[in-house]
């Protein structure tokens, strides 16, 4: 009974977190909107692989180092900020180059790189976000009943997070698919890259200057 109540309570918390617009939403929408559906699902599953890793590490007590060690947190924070700034700047540069090079409005082909490239991007983005680790350190133990196996219960809770995120990802990818024809036009892709690139740079700056 206590385990079931913990799972439902945690589902409510992470469900609200999942539908809150953020970095994951921006990455998934941008990739799916470009017509790169295999890559988009790679991003989705890469992000959720990272979530499972954070859940496992937290359940094993490893991520407590992020809360206890300033050096560990700062190292991961700056690595994550640098990665986000690089990724966002590259999107903005690609949008600028596309704007200068293309005069027509024919749909563009999908960018090279499929599922594996998306999976790696999603995984790295998730694992280099120290706030995910700190969130799990702060929240996950509160939902583990004293009578439950700590590690297994932690994985079960992380799995709930993954399932909810996958459901939300289906919604995001489906929404992008409905608008696929319009979003694949060069002008729309430039706007998408500029908006997403600016958002990701903003996340990087926020991670760099935040406490």
SS (H, E, C) 52-69: HHHHHHHHCCCCHHHHHC
Residue 123 predicted with pLDDT over 90: yes
CA distance 22 to 47: 13
The string of pLDDT tens digits covering residues 172-189 is 988 887 776 666 667 767
Report the range of poorest mean pLDDT among 56-60, 89-93, 107-111, 113-117.
107-111
**170 C-beta neighbours (distance < 10 Å), count:** 12
pLDDT confidence bin for 49, thresholds 50/70/90: very high
pTM of the model: 0.78
pLDDT at 202: 83
In the block, tokens 């060690």 appear at 69
Burial class (CB in 10 A: 0-12, 13-18, 19+), 95: buried
pLDDT at 67: 65
């Amino acid at each position: 009974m206590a385990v079931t109540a913990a799972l439902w309570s945690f589902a409510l918390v992470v469900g609200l977190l999942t539908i809150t617009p953020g970095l994951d939403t921006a990455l998934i929408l941008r990739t799916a909107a470009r017509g790169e559906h295999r890559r988009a699902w790679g991003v989705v599953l890469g992000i959720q692989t990272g979530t499972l890793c954070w859940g496992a590490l937290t359940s094993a007590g490893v991520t407590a180092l992020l809360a206890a060690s300033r050096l560990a947190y700062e190292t991961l924070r700056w690595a994550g900020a640098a990665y986000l700034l690089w990724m966002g700047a590259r999107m903005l540069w690609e949008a600028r180059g596309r704007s200068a090079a293309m005069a027509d409005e024919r749909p563009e082909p999908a960018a090279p790189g499929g599922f594996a490239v998306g999976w790696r991007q999603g995984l790295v983005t998730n694992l280099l976000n120290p706030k995910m680790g700190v969130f799990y350190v702060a929240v996950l133990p509160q939902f583990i009943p004293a009578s439950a196996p700590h590690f297994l219960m932690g994985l079960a809770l992380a799995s709930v997070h993954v399932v909810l995120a996958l459901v939300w990802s289906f919604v995001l990818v489906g929404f992008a698919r409905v608008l696929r024809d319009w979003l694949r036009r060069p002008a729309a892709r430039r706007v998408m890259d500029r908006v997403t690139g600016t958002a990701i740079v903003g996340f990087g700056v926020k991670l760099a200057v935040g406490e």
